[in-house]
A = this chain, B = another copy of it.
Amino acid sequence: MSELTRMTWQETRAAGRSAIAVLPIGSQEQHAGHLPMGTDTMLAEAVTDAALARLGGDPEVVRLPALPFGHSPHHLFAAAVSLRASTLQAVLDDLLDSLAASGYRRVLIVNGHGGNDEIMRLAVKQYVLRADVALAACSYFSLGDGQSPGHAGMFETSLMLAAHPDLVRTPEPRPVVDPPPLFSDSPYPGLTVERHGEWARAGGTTDDAAAATAAHGAELLAGRSAALAEAIRAFDRSTRDSHASTEGAR
């Protein structure tokens, strides 16, 4: 792994011919009373770095500094530091555009925050229309099985106990919320339902964190980073000759 922030511009440009640029993105937002504001950013970075370590330089990757802020308007009731949707779209578009201008043909965004998900996927769909590049995007938590494992509950607390145990406080028991919040229990599969004020009503979490353990977190971290490493290999295989294969389609 090479870190863009530590490379000279000549190294940055040279790597663009073959390497995949990888950009972690996260958020600064409430994660109940026991996890820190930067949880999503830290976990996106932890999973990315573990995946890149697994890959051991094959394929070649240039790791960008993480974008520490994300789109968290639904957590503004609880001290989030948030970018508007249009701002995050612009940031991602600018970063993709800069990388393409420097010769990068392949970029992957690794996301750690649910609220960024559509914006990130939309950003790569939009940008790929403008330049001859191959772009990928994933949320580390839904890679492989498509599950959405919850906010500030069992999943993230376990991961943080493994990755940053010093930053985890003892979770409070989750209050009973009746009816259950719409975001954690969609009334019909495939149907997105959103209700004003739902996160505040639900106390800001999706499930109870009491049973979270560092051991489970270590398993999750291994599983998530293995999945991301596999996804990067798959992206590499399917786009290695990206330039050549699209040439004929013009």
CB-CB nearest in chain B for A92: B87
Is A134 among interface residues, defined by CB-CB distance under 8 A?
Answer: yes
Stoichiometry, copies per complex: 6
Known: A119-B122, A188-B230. 19 other contacts (CB 8 A): A5-B28, A5-B41, A8-B32, A8-B37, A9-B29, A38-B65, A69-B91, A76-B98, A86-B90, A90-B90, A118-B121, A122-B122, A128-B195, A138-B192, A145-B189, A146-B190, A195-B246, A197-B246, A200-B250
Count of chain A residues near B, Cβ 8 A: 109
Give the residues in chain B near A145, CB-CB below 8 Å. Answer: 189-190
Sample (23) of A-B pairs whose CB atoms are under 8 Å apart: A5-B41, A7-B37, A8-B34, A8-B37, A9-B31, A38-B65, A66-B68, A73-B129, A79-B103, A81-B102, A82-B94, A121-B192, A124-B192, A125-B194, A131-B196, A132-B196, A135-B195, A139-B190, A144-B190, A179-B238, A182-B239, A196-B246, A197-B246
Give the residues in chain B near A55, CB-CB below 8 Å. Answer: none
Interface residues of A (CB under 8 A from B): 4-10, 12-13, 16, 28-38, 41-42, 64-69, 73-76, 78-87, 90-91, 94-95, 98-99, 101-103, 115, 118-119, 121-122, 124-126, 128-129, 131-139, 142-146, 167, 169, 179, 182, 187-198, 200-201, 204, 227, 230-231, 234-235, 237-239, 242, 245-246, 248-250
- B118 close to A95 (CB less than 8 A): no
State whether A246 and B37 are in contact (beta carbons under 8 Å apart), knowing that A87-B94, A237-B187 are contacts in the complex. Answer: no
- A83 close to B94 (CB less than 8 A): yes
**Which of A129, A132, A139, A142 has most chain B Cβ within 10 Å?**
A129
CB-CB nearest in chain B for A127: B194
State whether A36 and B194 are in contact (beta carbons under 8 Å apart), knowing that A41-B65, A90-B86, A188-B143 are contacts in the complex. Answer: no
Residue in B6, B28, B67 whose beta carbon sits within 8 Å of that of A167 in the complex: B6
- B69 close to A95 (CB less than 8 A): yes
State whether A79 and B129 are in contact (beta carbons under 8 Å apart), knowing that A192-B138, A193-B136 are contacts in the complex. Answer: no
